[in-house]
Amino acid sequence: MLGVRYLLRWGTITVFAMIAVLSARAAPSGEPTVEELKGRVASASIGDRAHLCVQIAQKQLVEADKQYAASEVEKGQVALTDVVAYSELARDYSIQSRKHEKQTEIAARTMIRKLTDLVHSLAHDDQAPVRDAINRLERVRDDLLKAMFPKGAK
């Protein structure tokens, strides 16, 4: 009789644990969407806009990678356009406010690395927009480095 109670107790615990795991998966992560972040940019202070733009660019890079992996090249290019545009905005806002410059530069470097990996996985015909995005992000990074470390300043 003791064995049956033991099995029922562990069976019940197992069922509740499975329900908790499934509920956690179904619950929203609480992470803002790209559209919500885009809406916040206009109302944020200049100093906070750089951080928001970096978040948008990073999320769109994940989306672009997914689209390219699914052979949805046109959708991938749309997301890639956002990556570049919001990275450039992040650069502009961070240089203007003198905030988040280092974080923005690090994010740009990371995105360049991910795009370089992506370009190697694409067919030759699909590589041009990604290579252009890499070049523009390298300019973003260079501009940030020049702003952080001006020549002649000691």
* Nearest-angstrom CA–CA distance, 115 and 152: 33
What's the pTM? 0.79
pLDDT digits (tens, 9 = 90+) for 38-56: 999 999 999 899 999 999 9
pLDDT tens column, 80-115: 999 999 999 999 999 999 999 999 999 999 999 999
pLDDT of residue 26: 44
The predicted pLDDT at position 27 comes to: 41
CA–CA separation, 57 and 61 (whole Å): 6
77, pLDDT greater than 60:
yes
Q: Taking the domains of the chain in order of start, what are their residue ranges?
A: 34-148
More confident residue, 12 or 127: 127
Angle at 19 between CA 16 and CA 5, to 5 degrees: 20
